[in-house]
Amino acid sequence: MNRRSFIYSSVLSSTGLVVAARDLSFSREVENGKRVGIIGLDTSHSEVFTRMINSGSPDMNGYRVIAAYELGSKDIASALNLRPGVTAKVREMGVEIVDSIEALLGKVDVVLLESNDGRPHLEQALPVFKAGKRIFIDKPVAASLDGAKAIFKAAAQHNTPVFTSSALRFDANVRQVVGGSIGNVTGADVYTPAEMEPHHSDLAWYAIHGVEMLFTVMGPGCKSVSRTYRDGTDLTVGVWSDGRIGTVRGIRTGASNIAGTAFGTKGIAPLGPFSGYEPLVKQIVTFFETGKVPVSPAETLEIFSFIEAADLSRKKGGKTIQLPMNG
């Protein structure tokens, strides 16, 4: 399936974001401290997030995207193909397109790093960290566990708040389970599109949506991972330190969505399906306002440890990999 078409069409149809560009143009001066910049216009997220933030909704607290730097991936064909169209749409909304990250940082207060490719994220984020500007880094935060560690280490060195997240973490059904709707969670099974990209850990490129949904309801503490891989399907099984089991079915053939089931001491509940980006964007705006991250670096790194262990299990023919891994 075309993952971008699936997500993008779902967002537009469910949120009514087909809005005339003139309605999102700048009719007023943006308050200092609320000027948003985007790095990377090679993903539909850049267009969708700009429409949401610049909609004037009270939930956006006066924040507006005012400038963007378009370059992202240098060699991923899907990203390169998206960039001209997304750039044109963002420009139509009155956003200034600048020619460097340095120029962007001179105009904005906070940053959305949206580049589709996780590999350049550290290089792109470093100037933002050094400038001390709060930054949201879209998924995948990096191409690998080592890359994710390097990003959070650099952010800490410069004392700059940063977080990354899938929109599925803030899905309404997921939040109900986290809030105790089914009692203590005893296990969960999720499924997700699992298109892979050769420069990224297998589950980091897209299946991270399902992995993050799993960790949101299960919490930290996964101690072993095993993965059964076939061309069209993955099944990755995590066992938590208290014996609970969580699974991620990755789908590359046939019908797909991002959803699942959580099991608890008082009930069973659905997770997902994906319905839109509004909850995530609201969390980003709150983060810009407060500087408090809704997802800790430690949790993101545990997610990437799970992903790396799944890669290693695949290479070893499905062998169970213990966490934390050595080395």
Instruction: Indicate the helix (H) or strand (E) that contains 21.
Output: none
Q: Is the pLDDT of residue 192 over 80?
A: yes
* Selection from 59, 74, 77, 68 nearest residue 95 by Cα: 68
Structural domain 3-117, CATH architecture? 3-Layer(aba) Sandwich (3.40)
Predicted local confidence at residue 96, as pLDDT: 98
Place of tokens 């099984």: 237
Q: How many CA atoms lie within 13 A of 283 on its CB side?
A: 21
Where do you find CATH 3.30.360.10 in the chain? 168-277+304-322
Please state the rounded mean pLDDT for residues 318-322.
Answer: 98
Which of the following CATH numbers is that of domain 168-277+304-322: 3.40.50.150, 3.30.360.10, 1.10.10.10, 3.40.50.2020?
A: 3.30.360.10
What is the percent of the chain where pLDDT is above 90?
89
What is the longest distance spanned by two Cα atoms in the chain? 59
Predicted local confidence at residue 304, as pLDDT: 98
Where do you find CATH 3.40.50 in the chain? 3-117
Predicted local confidence at residue 1, as pLDDT: 41
Predicted local confidence at residue 274, as pLDDT: 94
